[in-house]
Amino acid sequence: MSNAGTLASKRVVITGGGSGIGLATAEQVIKAGGEVVILGRSRERLDAACAALGKSSRAMVLDVTNETDVEQCFDQIGAFDHLVTAAAGTLRGNLTTLETKSARALFESKFWGQHHCAKYAAPRLLRGGSMTFLGGWISRKPMRGLSTLAAIDGAMESLTRVLALELAPIRVNVIVPGQIDTPLWRARLSKEEQNGYFAKIATQLPVGRAGRAQDIADAAVFLMLNGFTTGSVLDVDGGQN
């Protein structure tokens, strides 16, 4: 029986795999027949995720901002098929009032974290392998108070296009999620604010609802399976204008 359209016998490494988009991606990979190694900073969260994911998963604690730890982590993992960098972060504040150290911290996690993972994963990716980064819509649909995030999202798109050439035949793509209902968003809002916020989004988008982590996970699996897609910026945003 052909394995086309599945991830049978494939090994996928996912940063930020303990919750949100990362965890949803791990679930979809396993449903498609693959195995996952999930990475994240919280041992407790990773253990809970592995308990839910089952025997096709394993976890390793990693802070992607520490380049030495990233290198050692990928040394331990060894050869694998696909990388998804779903570790997330956000920051609000106008340029003139935002502390520079806060802006640097977001670059360390969301840009340099993905950069480190790409650098040390690349030599270990097997033939037919891929990298999928996470960017964001703020770079092209700007909002006040999000200059740092916009700069990082734009940088991830540019990095993707260059790495698709430098790392070929490894395929490199970036997903640009729209407004997705994840723990990261909900942590900033009260229960009442959450309901109102996501209800408002539903009225603004052509699809009539906010995004779900599984929407992004489905896109990540598509990019792993589609061998003719590289250097692409894939918008998964519900038709957001």
Q: For the segment 87-140, what is each residue's pLDDT rounded down to a tens digit?
A: 877 778 788 888 999 989 999 999 999 999 999 999 999 999 999 999 988 888
Domain for residue 47, yes or no?
A: yes
Domain for residue 29, yes or no?
A: yes
Residue range 144-169, pLDDT digits in tens: 888 999 999 999 999 999 999 999 99
The whole-chain average pLDDT of the chain stands at: 91
For residue 182, which phi and psi values (nearest 5 degrees)?
-130, 165
CA quadruple 203, 208, 209, 211: dihedral positive or negative? Answer: negative
Cα–Cα distance measured from residue 223 to residue 174, given in angstroms and rounded to the nearest whole number: 9
Q: Domain total for the chain?
A: 1
Domain for residue 189, yes or no?
A: no
Domain for residue 205, yes or no?
A: no
Closest CA to 54 of 79, 23, 13: 23
Domain for residue 46, yes or no?
A: yes
Domain for residue 16, yes or no?
A: yes
Q: How confident is the model at residue 1 (pLDDT cuts 50, 70, 90)?
A: very low
Q: How confident is the model at residue 201 (pLDDT cuts 50, 70, 90)?
A: confident
Q: How far is Cα of residue 72 from the mean position of the Cα atoms in its chain? A: 21
Q: Residue 175 maps to which CATH number?
A: 3.40.50.720
Per-residue DSSP letter, 87: -
Domain for residue 187, yes or no?
A: no
Q: What is the pTM of this model?
A: 0.92
Give the range of the structural domain holding residue 69, as residue numbers without chain letter. 11-180+213-228
Q: How confident is the model at residue 187 (pLDDT cuts 50, 70, 90)?
A: low
